[in-house]
Every structure is written in C-alpha cells, then in structure tokens.
Amino acid sequence: MTLERSFVTPADPDDFEHWLYAMDDALQRFISDLDESIALKLDYSEESLETIESLILKQYTSVEKILIPAESYRLDGLTRYVGETFRKAIGGRWEIRLDDPRYAFHGLPQLTGFSPRATPICPHSLVTAAVDRRQGNYLRTILENVKRRLR
C-alpha cells in the first residue's frame, strides 16, 4: 500500500497495519494541505471538531459527494483526524473487522477498547453522518455524549 492510497483494502489486514503506521505522516499531510487559518485550529481538542465539521459542511453538500473516489484522500484525512481526536479524548485503539461482511463497519477503521462494554466508534461513519445531518456541532456532541457515558 502506498502512502497516497487512502482507505484500507478490506481483504488485506496488512493494508490496515500500514494505514496505522502511516497515521502521523498522513495527518500531517492532510493538515498541511488545508488553508492555514483552518490548520492552525486543529489541535485535536473537542473544539477543533467544530472547525473540521465546518470544513466538511462547506466542502460537501451531500454524502454522495464525499464518497466519490476523487475525494478518498480528503475523506481519509477527515476520518483520521476525527478518530484521533476521539482517541485522544477517550482512549482506545484503532482496529478493523474483516471477518464478517455483514458487520456495519466491515473494512473500515474503528476505535475500540476505550471501555469494556463500549460500542465501537467508526470515524468514517461519523464524518459521513456529519455531512448528512448538517448541524455544525454533530461531531463534538457525539464526543461529549461518549465521554458522559464513560463517566
């Protein structure tokens, strides 16, 4: 898997390991490609999720537009940023499930292990849901709710 390729090939766990290994570099590239006024606000804080969501809502008017192949690099960067922001706030680790094609997050990186009984969090799904819901504070609200449930 090359660094330019964005999402994990569901059939290959090695791609996921490479995706994880490239996390810091991929996030750095993603952030450096953004307008400086936005990039300076991305500090992995809860507040920065509103900055990311504002970017998402300005860039994408529908879920279909964010899912086109030409947007895979940007979607990967958004997914990584949202996921790492959640991971830094609540703990856990990145995983991928490749064993059951019927599983809701099959082949998508997800966060697990932040609580013994917690439901996995799929940042890719959070990003696309933010596009669909168009609230401006959806991502931050989800993180706040997760943190509240973990207390």
Domain locations in the chain as residue ranges: 13-150
Q: What is the pLDDT of residue 8?
A: 53
* 88: number of Cβ within 10 Å: 13
Q: What gap in Å lies between CA 25 and CA 45, rounded to an integer?
A: 19
Q: Provide the token pair at 126.
A: 């959070």
Q: Taking the model in full, what pTM does it have?
A: 0.92
Phi, psi of 26 (to 5 degrees): -65, -40
For residue range 2-48, list pLDDT tens digits in order: 334 455 555 577 889 999 999 999 999 999 999 999 999 999 999 99
Q: What gap in Å lies between CA 126 and CA 82, rounded to an integer?
A: 8
DSSP state for residue 118 in the 8-state scheme? P
Average pLDDT, the chain: 91
Average pLDDT over residues 91-115: 93
Sign of the CA dihedral with 46 first, then 50, 53, and 59 last: negative
Higher per-residue pLDDT: 110 or 116: 110
